[in-house]
Amino acid sequence: MYAQMVKSEGGDAEATPEELAFQARIDRDEKIEPKEWMPEGYRKTLIRQIGQHAHSEIVGQLPEGNWITRAPTLERKAILLAKVQDEAGHGLYLYSAAETLGVSRDELLEKLHSGEMKYSSIFNYPTLTWADMGAVGWLVDGAAIMNQVPLQRTSYGPYSRAMIRICKEESFHQRQGYHIMMKMARGTPEQKEMAQDALNRFWFPSLMMFGPSDKDSVHSEKSMAWKIKINTNDELRQRFVNETVPQAEFLGLTVPDPELAWNEEKQGYDFSEPDWAEFFDVIKGNGPCNRERLATRKDAWDEGAWFRDGLTAHAEKSAKRRAAARHAAE
Ligand code: BYC
């Protein structure tokens, strides 16, 4: 149906037969696989979204990595360590999915390091106390799941398949965060205060994770027509608030929003918009931790050069040896 309305990528010209056939496949919920024909805009949008998502997973290790050595018990340390390792795995699945679109991991990382590509705004906020590990797991992973569950049905095959495993792991992450919050909220008055403080600081940045409000979203319309995105930013933000407010009530904590109120008519909560000026400033590179996060990633890249060189040298040597063996056998 949408196919009838499709315009060529170039602008107002009528869509080409190839573009129409492509859109018809999307409309039939067929998966698009690597090396199949796709409009250049579809490929570019996917590289942008998957690449930024991969970067978010990798940069997202930093605020939590900050607490591994200071986890309060051995059990908490082991759990946090496993979670941070999972994030590295998510980054790798996603970089691999992006590579099927013809972009190398090195190119994507170069664009992250130069600031040309973004990563999620949320990771530019500091994690100041152990309660922040609870709030990050509960709210940040909770928001990530809300966004990523629909992406399991995204139209690009490798991306949708990567999402299935990622979502399973994210569910464990969200639960471990909520478990920390339960422990803190039911602990001493000081611990409960730390949990409330973490909620106060992470609530609005978590709402920002879904992206700007629909009226300011640049890519949503096209991405939804291509089923790269399944829902709008505001739809997912509303779902997140609806699910999270009762969880906060169960903890005995207060969501830091005086406008928050149940709206019987829409069967959802009314809530305050985040400070969008702050959001746009953070994604421009001016958040509290942007410089520190990028500097840490660049250092890790530079310090890993000897290891990458070693791996490449070994791969080249093995390839030469295999070629020589083939030659000898002929
Ligand atoms: N942060 O047109 P819009 C995680 C940018 S981490 C930074 O609505 P789109 C996890 C956007 O890129 C979660 N930038 O964009 C890891 C665009 O700028 P450009 C990561 C943002 O793409 C470790 C501009 O604003 N999840 O899971 O249609 C531990 C206009 O926005 C943000 C994903 O990446 C933001 N929050 O929609 C724990 C999921 N929001 O590129 C957890 C996949 C918007 O034109 N991504 N921008 O310069 C998506 O679903 C979509 O890309 C978004 C944004 C909903 C995020």
In a domain, 5, yes or no: no
Query: Which pLDDT band, with edges at 50, 70 and 90, does 4 fall under?
Result: very low
| Predicted pLDDT of residue 120 | 98
- Model confidence at 8, pLDDT cuts 50, 70, 90, reads low
Q: What is the model's pLDDT at position 3? A: 44
Pocket test for ligand 1, best of 233, 279, 289, 293 (most atoms within 8 A of CB): 233
Q: Give the domain range for residue 322.
A: 288-329
- Residue 269 — left, alpha, or beta (φ > 0 → left; ψ -120 to 50 → alpha)? beta
User: Would 7 be classed as within a structural domain?
Assistant: no
242 is a domain residue: yes
| Cα 176 to Cα 230: distance, rounded to the nearest angstrom | 27
- Which residue puts its alpha carbon closest to atom 25 of ligand 1? 211
Same domain, 123 and 217: yes
The two three-digit tokens of residue 204, written as one number: 């609005």
Give the tens place of pLDDT for each residue, 123-170: 999 999 999 999 999 999 999 999 999 999 999 999 999 999 999 999
Task: Say yes or no: 204 and 321 in one domain.
Answer: no
143 CA → ligand 1 middle, Å: 12
Mean of per-residue pLDDT scores for the chain: 94
Residues 114 and 257 in one domain: yes
| Among 1-5, 9-13, 30-34, 41-45, the least confident range | 1-5
- Ligand 1 centroid vs 16 CA: distance in angstroms? 30
Specify the 3-state DSSP secondary structure of 209: coil
Give the helix ranges, DSSP H, for 100-140. 105-114, 131-135
Residues 159 and 299 in one domain: no
Instruction: Compute the distance between CA of residue 161 and CA of residue 60 in angstroms, rounded to an integer.
Output: 21
168-220 pLDDT tens trace: 999 999 999 999 999 999 999 999 999 999 999 999 999 999 999 999 999 99
In this predicted structure, what is the pLDDT of residue 225? 97
* Residue 64 sits in the same domain as residue 116: yes
Look up the CATH number of the domain holding residue 232: 1.20.1260.10
Q: Say whether both 85 and 195 belong to one domain.
A: yes
pLDDT at 317 over 90: no
Task: Specify whether 240 is located in the same domain as 315.
Answer: no
Number of domain units in the chain: 2
What is the distance in A from the centroid of ligand 1 to the CA of 283? 10
Q: How far is the CA of 327 from the centre of ligand 1 (A)?
A: 50
211: left (phi over 0), alpha (psi -120 to 50) or beta: left
31-76 pLDDT tens trace: 999 999 999 999 999 999 999 999 999 999 999 999 999 999 999 9
| Total number of residues shown for the chain | 330
Pocket of ligand 1 (CB under 6 A): 48-49, 52-53, 56-57, 60, 87, 118, 120-121, 140-141, 144, 147, 208-212, 217-220, 223, 229, 233, 283
Which residue owns the Cα nearest ligand 1 atom 31?
217
Query: How far, in Å, from the CA of 329 to the mean position of ligand 1?
Result: 53
**309 and 262 inside one domain:** no
Closest residue to atom 26 of ligand 1, CA basis: 53
